[in-house]
Structure 1
């Protein structure tokens, strides 16, 4: 194979355990010595770990690399002298190549030449394999790299290391060592100047780009500001158009306009929206609304119309919850509709209408709870829960007021004629003891209903003791015993 056909200029043979890091540094140094910054490498050096392909036949791969190499560089040490791999590599080179292409770099141990025997003194030489005996015609020159074991990082910027690398590279490249050493320093200075010039140019370019970016950013900011102002004015104008027709959306648009850009139009729009009393328009779109009720927890609103239908709305989204409930029969004249009231816990809604019935609804499922409460002979114009939610009062067109036990769906007591005309309104006092009623007889009356609001509790408080089993069996001998007023 001709010289020009060889893939490698040199082959590094070494002990992996002893000189792995040094071999890597030496390979890198041979690649870069006297190399211009734009060149990839000036020498092609084979180091088994970095150049050999993945193969199951490692010995074959090493042999092929040796065939494709022009020079052999042995990193001599006690470990490499004892390595079977190093011995095989040296043996191949001895058999195929001349001694002038064999270079030695001592990393540890000793090499002693015996002038009289014209061979190494094998009684004192510990760093070379014995098979090199008689291989060299005269004392070979070797490089002592033992000092590198005390250096953590090796590079060509270390003068001593650069000199030793130049010693090995000179015969391989066919150039004087001094030329290579000087050329490397000259090229390094040139590279430093080029790097400094490039750095300065990059700094100038960075400043220019930064200034251009600043101008561009200012232009973009101004463009965005003008766009936001235009959008803000458009939203403010749209909010003004909606006005009282949809106050909730109008107020949201005014806030959006202000947040996008606080233009004078947005500020005026917010002031106009704040002056509007309305918050949301909950459209029924079927019949006149005659009654509304607000749950005490603030989460729902109920409304009833003259068609006898009841609707629920979520107060957070202002969206109707489910379909309307057909609670009562419609008013033929379109004047009277269901009257609504929420229980104190918001779990129950009561509705009453001109059909004389009272209905209880579960607000979560919007389903009717049990059968309607019946008893009034005329329209029920007003309903009200007691503060504890256990009693319901109803006022009717039959001039009467009735009190209902919510738990049992029965009347607490007989109805009483409250007015000399239809009872239009009923309300409990905050403590639940008093009931106020208003009627068409132009009177407001107060009624003591504390005895009926919580009968069991009141009676037990009066007795203030427990009925014993003996007393129970004496009074009611045929009934199972129950402890009362516990």
Structure 2
């Protein structure tokens, strides 16, 4: 009887141990499965966040280029999804580095567009009463000039001078102070324009094509035109030494002329 009882106790212990082993294995399997599912969920969330960042970056490509490029890098670091990879390629090829939209002044009821300097550092805006000079790089206004109804005809390459005109008369002004630079001159046909260096002004009216010294207004070159018939086009070279000139009625094409020194 004692041996039988001992055998039953041994079998019960073995059964209990086997049950515990099976239960432990089941718990471990459930834990591993739950961990894998949790990890997969996190992975999916990270991939989704990466795709969303890449999509957002694409929508900001032209309005906020710097933010767009940063988002592309962040999307790739989160997870190298195909969308993130495409965004990095687009960011590497992106030419836009910044975006600036000059605000319209309060109380102004008109907006007349903008004039950008050749170096891209200065932009002019004209509203109902003033001309605003903006630093494009720093996103701030550097000057505010009353225009008294005059129109912006041109802005020098460096953005330091501008030509204002009204009623067939034009004048060069300092873009920082608004003060005149040199005398007024007649410009009745087309808007006057600066040469590439800003040292000369090209004036095209009904009777002549003239090249003036910016500060003194001295005429360094004059080409007579036939009123209302002889329309000409002129482009000054980068060093202000040569001007390419073309008459509308000439079949041989443009001519290169030297601009005489003042």
Q: What TM-score does the superposition give when structure 1 sets the normalisation length?
A: 0.35
SS of the residue corresponding to residue 321 of structure 1 reads: strand
Question: Do residues 395 (structure 1) and 203 (structure 2) align?
Answer: yes
Choose from 155, 163, 177 the match for 1:351: 163
The residue number in structure 2 matching 1:368 is 178
Cα distance in 2, alignment partners of residues 378 and 276 from structure 1: 42
User: C-alpha displacement at 1:353, in angstroms?
Assistant: 3.8
For the 8 Å contact 1:293–1:301, the answer to whether it is kept is yes
Cα distance in 2, alignment partners of residues 264 and 255 from structure 1: 13
SS of the residue corresponding to residue 357 of structure 1 reads: strand
The residue number in structure 2 matching 1:8 is none
Structure 1 residues 322 and 430, CA, compared in 2 at 3 Å: closer, same or farther?
A: closer
Choose from 100, 105, 113 the match for 1:289: 113
Deviation per residue, 1:202-243 (Å, 9 max, x gap): xxxxxxxxxxxxxxxxxxxx89x9686565433222223335
For the 8 Å contact 1:392–1:406, the answer to whether it is kept is yes
User: C-alpha displacement at 1:251, in angstroms?
Assistant: 3.5
The residue number in structure 1 matching 2:149 is 329
User: C-alpha displacement at 1:411, in angstroms?
Assistant: 1.5
- Matched residue count: 211
Cα distance in 2, alignment partners of residues 423 and 306 from structure 1: 32
The residue number in structure 2 matching 1:101 is none
Cα distance in 2, alignment partners of residues 291 and 250 from structure 1: 26
Q: What TM-score does the superposition give when structure 2 sets the normalisation length?
A: 0.58
Structure 1 residues 321 and 447, CA, compared in 2 at 3 Å: closer, same or farther?
A: same
Deviation per residue, 1:158-193 (Å, 9 max, x gap): xxxxxxxxxxxxxxxxxxxxxxxxxxxxxxxxxxxx
Gaps of 5+ in 2: 1-38, 105-110
Question: Do residues 340 (structure 1) and 152 (structure 2) align?
Answer: no
1:237-386 pair list within 5 angstroms: 237-259=55-77, 261-273=79-91, 278-284=96-102, 287-289=111-113, 291-295=115-119, 300-304=121-125, 309-315=131-137, 317=138, 319-322=139-142, 324-327=144-147, 329=149, 337-342=152-157, 346=158, 348-355=160-167, 356-362=169-175, 366-371=176-181, 373-378=183-188, 380-385=190-195
Question: Do residues 411 (structure 1) and 218 (structure 2) align?
Answer: yes
More divergent stretch after superposition (397-406 vs 442-451):
442-451
Structure 1 residues 260 and 350, CA, compared in 2 at 3 Å: closer, same or farther?
A: farther
SS of the residue corresponding to residue 294 of structure 1 reads: coil
The residue number in structure 2 matching 1:235 is 53
The residue number in structure 2 matching 1:218 is none
The residue number in structure 1 matching 2:235 is 427
User: C-alpha displacement at 1:392, in angstroms?
Assistant: 0.8
Cα distance in 1, alignment partners of residues 203 and 79 from structure 2: 55
SS of the residue corresponding to residue 201 of structure 2 reads: strand
Structure 1 residues 282 and 382, CA, compared in 2 at 3 Å: closer, same or farther?
A: farther
